Amino acid sequence: MSEAYDGDTMTDFTPEPTGTRRVVVLISGNGSNLQALIDEQTHDRLGGEIVAVISNVADAYGLQRARDAGIDAVVLPHGEYENREAYDGALIKVIERHEPDLVVLAGFMRILSSRFVQRFHGRMLNIHPSLLPAYRGLNTHAKALADGVAEHGCSVHFVTEELDGGPVAIQAVVAVNEGETEASLKEKVHAREHLIYPIAVKWFLEGRLRLEGESALLDGTPLPPQGLRLSHADAAEELDEDLGDT
């Protein structure tokens, strides 16, 4: 793994002395990225506490993951509201009840209103299954395969009003092999999501990662447009993947 990735060796940074930082996670489905965050919290490596998981889908499996971890699981079905603005207004109230320092989108399949984004500006992160700015929106794996790219991956970014357009904090690359399928590529990208999302969340909760203007800063230094990027080899090493076929 490259030294640049290792949060303990990147600088001599000392976390700010604060109380426990609070996280609210928004989901719509399985919640595998939520589980990655829960696992880090279980081992006291997250830098804060997930105080609530909120879903717009009543039977989202991620809610059960929250309950199993003793985390408040809240259902707020979007179908019960007449429009996006009404729903987002209700969602803001539910979130703010939990007084979060950070809002984490983990497979929350809703386009957020301007009002919502502005309310949590600078303290809301999302993970996207592509190396942004490539392939914003949906069906990223299919698009990457159709274009015949050599590399694909995932990105953690601050949420702004531009869809999948906020400043990137960290990315992880996956090599696209000959004969790659959408399913196999999705699996490898998911593994990298579970690797880098907890890192970005911890950076934020420790006060190391912040949004300033249109830039993401880590330890006070502006990050490049792609954020801190893990190569395929670095990510594969962390994940104990076989590099023999890449």
Pairing of strands 22-27, 49-55: parallel
Nearest CA to 134 out of 153, 106, 158 is that of: 153
128 is a catalytic site residue: yes
| Paired sense of beta strands 221-222 and 215-218, if any | antiparallel
Which two tokens mark 61? 């499996």
Q: Collapsing DSSP states into helix, strand and coil, what is residue 155?
A: strand
Q: Would you state the structure tokens that stand for residue 156, as one six-digit string?
A: 């953690």
The full length of the chain comes to 246
List 43, 121, 128, 152, catalytic entry: 128
Q: What does the alpha-carbon distance between residue 157 and residue 154 come to, in Å, rounded to a whole number?
A: 10
Contacts of 83 (CB under 8 A, 6+ apart): none
Looking at the annotation, which residues are catalytic?
A: 128
